[in-house]
Amino acid sequence: MSLDAIVIGAGHNGLVAAARLGQAGRRVLVLEAEAAPGGLLGEAGGMRIAAMPTGLHPEVARGLALHRHGLRPGRPMATLALGGDAPLRIEGAAVTGVDAATAAAFADLHRRLARQASALAPMMLKVPPRLRDGGWGELMTLARLGLGVRMLGRAEMRELLRILLSNVWDLLNDEIGDGALAGALAMEATLGGAMGPRSPGTVLPLLYRLAGQPRVMPEGGAGAIVAALVRAVEAAGGQVRTGARVEALLAGDDRVEGVRLAGGEEIRAPLVFSNAHPKATLLDLLGVRHLDAEDVRRARRMATEGMVARLDLALAAPPRLPGGTLPGPGDRIIVAPAMGTLEAAFNAAKYKENPDRPALECHWDAGASRLAVSAQFVPCTLKGGWTAEARDRLVANVLSVLDAAMPGLAAEVGDVTLATPADIEARFGLPGGHWHHGEFRVDQMLMLRPFAGAAQYRMPVAGLYLCGAGAHPGGDVTGLPGWNAAGVALKDGRGR
Amino acid sequence: MNAVTEPREAVPMGLVPGPFHDRLEALNHQRAWMNWMGVASPAVLDTVEFEYFAIRNQATLFDVSPMMKYRIAGPDAEAVANRLVTRDVTKLRPGRVAYAIWCDEAGNVVDDGTLFRLSATEFRLCCQEPQLAWLDDVAWGFDVTVEDVSRDIAGLALQGPTSCAVLRDAGLAGIEAMKPFDLREFRVDTHAVTVSRTGFTGDLGYELWMAPEDALAVWDRLMEAGRLRGIRVIGYQALDMARIEAGFLLPRVDFVSSETHLRPGRARNPYELGLDWLVALDKPQFNGRRALVRLAKGKPRRRLVAIEIDRDKPAHHALVYHAKRREVGFVTSALWSPTLKRNIAHAWVEAPYDEAGDLWVEIYRQRELVWQRRMARARIVERAFFRHPRRTATPPADW
């Protein structure tokens, strides 16, 4: 069978790209190194890294007709913020468990941020304009984005520009005051990355999250997304091959020609989409010989340090929230009693140490009697290395924070599975173990993602496209990078 | 953070002496020192006229030690050199030297220099501007080491019609067999000297490379051997005259390196500089290739051209006009050539006026605080104004 395209990596973005290409009549083969598809969404090593995914972008779900492949869109998850006397419950702009003034201030802030985020939202589905020479092209790009911002009106625009590059610490202290509510929002702004609440530029990721998709827990859990995407690929005539680790890209005469697998098998195709990390794609799979020194430098210097560890705790009894209630399947629990907790944890990780009191995001899977925990901030390269003692210490710190928030929980814990950022890095070939393949920083967003000059999914070698979270609009489980990458390649094909 | 308590070697203030400084200082009657990469380098020692005519008629010594020199060595040295420069390095044999340029990703020139192939796995790059950071980036991911050896190697340019005879008399047996751009090892008395038949004058000439501790002994031997051949020590000003006559370009003067320019659009590509002949688009990926392939298909928006100007007043920094009215460029290097008896210059000219004719330069002259303005006709000519058959004749004639 002669192929039109190969997709490296059966993470959700790779599957989305493959399904879109298949729908357009292209013969596609998806190559996955692990034994099962899904990437961070899949069950690899007995653990699903992305246990609390955001929903796929509606355009992607609709475009691939995922409802016909068994995906029931779930309801947005509610957030329970622990740390105060009673848990706070956050659903959209509504919060309960705080005083009326704080609730009103939060509703006001949420409404404002959501409106400002909507000025950014149209950029998500678009291919970011090209940066050329740092000249007029860049200015035009900014102008186009600026127009959307200007449409907010003068006062709102001023406000957005005031807070855009500032930090959530200042913003939330100004607007709602510190506490469990601010902690939960600061967690939202910093989760997955290597910036603390006081780091400049943390308001932008918060807006980005608000402009993006809410977290949903689909029927059948996070794995249902992967299953539906695989069915969509296969229904479009594509094929997913697992246990096939791509070792190198084949390229000649400035054009990609296919891939070589770890066993030495060579598979040819005129188009290759890489859902692997941009660094790994360019520096390891393609090789620096095919690249200009500037691209090598930018790829090397991508900020890719991730600071989230994942733990799965088998519990003998369901966790009980303060007050005695049980968390529901649509509830996400955040333990970040104040922004200072996050900042202290970040300070430890910044200096490559285990935080004493990590901030936690948890989900209770009643069917599996399992509490999925994301702990931040945990460094990828730990001082002294990730020894057995260091791992035990991290687990003990997480359990102690959990037990303080939900008394009695530690006593119920059975088996613990831990994936440090270093484990995530090794298992998924993600340099730095970053969830989103690259920090959500103002210099790594939009036309600067993954780095300047590489923002349109096309790589310097013709026929090679990036389709993973390293590309615009980036991480979380929207499927947009894969969707946009396939769209760009199809457009390129028509032009030829 | 711990405080640094260990004593550090003091960094010298001002310019430092180069390996030939003791001899240069004795001869530098003008006391005219220039700053060349932090080293005291003579602008002129006696009179620029004597020094210039010595280049064209005798033999001259010029200290090129301050030039930046990099050693690129290792199993991947050829791959790195070939990735760096736009020429095809696989065709450069050990024992040969190539003039080369290197470009950034946009196809703009970073710098030019000479690439010495010392062996299958070792190169030396000589150039004007510091390049270590650039070389480190180009070499990343390759099995190669890049070292700055600028201060580990002393260099002397021996240029002029009698230069071959001087070297032969200094005991460099077989020097006359060297072809242009050849590179060979010799001994001057007991001192190892690497000689390349290269230079910046468009005439017969050699460059000698040695350990700094051997520098003065080699100098003395050459001065002694050259006594009856009219050997003369020169400064930068005389060399710059010969450089313009030979049609060689100077970064910062004739073009701005893409690594140092600040304003957008000020960097220049090889097609604009008239250096197409240095770009081997038929070799696989090298830095800037994709951009150069695109640029090669179009016409340059401006070109650095050689012009010859009517009348005898040099056109320093003059503006270039089309039909005396429309400003279309400017002069970067200018000279009344004493040897050619022609008024010559390098100038940037915007397209399409680089092909139009009817070009004029506006020359300003001041005589006793009174300014005069003259429009002089200019014609675009071959870049190498002066290229003597002596430059390539092998063996060179005995002068």
Section B324-348 average pLDDT: 97
The residue behind tokens 């298909």 is B297
Based on the number of CB atoms within 10 Å of its own CB, is A101 exposed (0-12), middle (13-18) or buried (19 or more)?
exposed
Q: What is the pLDDT of residue A140?
A: 65
Chain A CB contacts of B82 under 8 Å are none
β-pair type (A88-91, A78-82): antiparallel
Which of A283, A290, A297 is facing B285, going by the closest CB pair? A290
Question: At B193, phi and psi to the nearest 5?
Answer: -135, 130
**Chain B residue with minimal CA distance to A288?**
B141
**Chain A residue with minimal CA distance to B267?**
A133
In angstroms, rounded to a whole number, what is the distance separating the alpha carbons of residues B198 and A41? 63
User: Is residue B322 over pLDDT 90?
Assistant: yes
A53 contacts: CB under 8 Å, gap ≥ 6: A41, A215, A216, A222, A225, A476, A477
Using DSSP's 3-state secondary structure scheme, residue A234 falls into: helix
Chain B CB contacts of A283 under 8 Å are 141
A453–B105 CB contact, under 8 Å = yes
Of A42-51, B81-90, B178-187, the least confident:
A42-51
A289–B285 CB contact, under 8 Å = yes
**Chain B residue with minimal CA distance to A298?**
B137
Q: What is the pLDDT of residue B200?
A: 93
Distances (CA, A) of B268 to A66, B292, B301, B396: 52, 12, 10, 37
Per-residue DSSP letter, B44: E
In angstroms, rounded to a whole number, what is the distance separating the alpha carbons of residues A305 and A16? 26
CB A54 within 8 A of CB A42: no
Q: What is the pLDDT of residue B387?
A: 92
List residues bridging with B376 in a β-sheet: B361
User: Is residue B243 over pLDDT 70?
Assistant: yes
CB A193 within 8 A of CB A377: no
Q: What is the pLDDT of residue A116?
A: 86
- Count CB neighbours of A411 within 10 A: 11
Chain B CB contacts of A291 under 8 Å are 285
The pair of structure tokens assigned to B292 is 């150069």
Q: Which band of pLDDT confidence, cut at 50, 70 and 90, is reported for residue B1? A: very low
What is the average pLDDT score of chain B?
Answer: 95
Distances (CA, A) of A15 to A19, A43, A44, B109: 6, 16, 17, 42
Q: What is the pLDDT of residue B4?
A: 56
The b/e string for B157-187 (b: 16+ C-beta within 10 A; e otherwise) is bbbbbbbbbbbbbbebeebbebeebbbeebe
Residues 166-195 of A with CB under 8 A from B: none
Q: Measure in Å the smallest separation between the Cα of A318 and chain B Cα atoms.
A: 47
Residues 301-340 of A with CB under 8 A from B: none
Q: What ipTM did this prediction achieve?
A: 0.89
Residues of chain A with pLDDT under 70: 1, 125, 127, 129-142, 495-496
pTM: 0.90
**pLDDT tens digit string along B353-392?**
999 889 999 999 899 999 999 999 999 999 899 999 999 9
User: Cis (ω within 30 of 0) for the bond into B255?
Assistant: no
Q: What is the pLDDT of residue A130?
A: 60
Q: What is the pLDDT of residue A162?
A: 84
Q: How many CB pairs under 8 A join A and B?
A: 46
Chain B CB contacts of A293 under 8 Å are 83, 105, 134, 137-138, 140, 287
In angstroms, rounded to a whole number, what is the distance separating the alpha carbons of residues A359 and A187? 8
CA B26 to chain CA centroid, Å, is 26
Using DSSP's 3-state secondary structure scheme, residue B5 falls into: coil
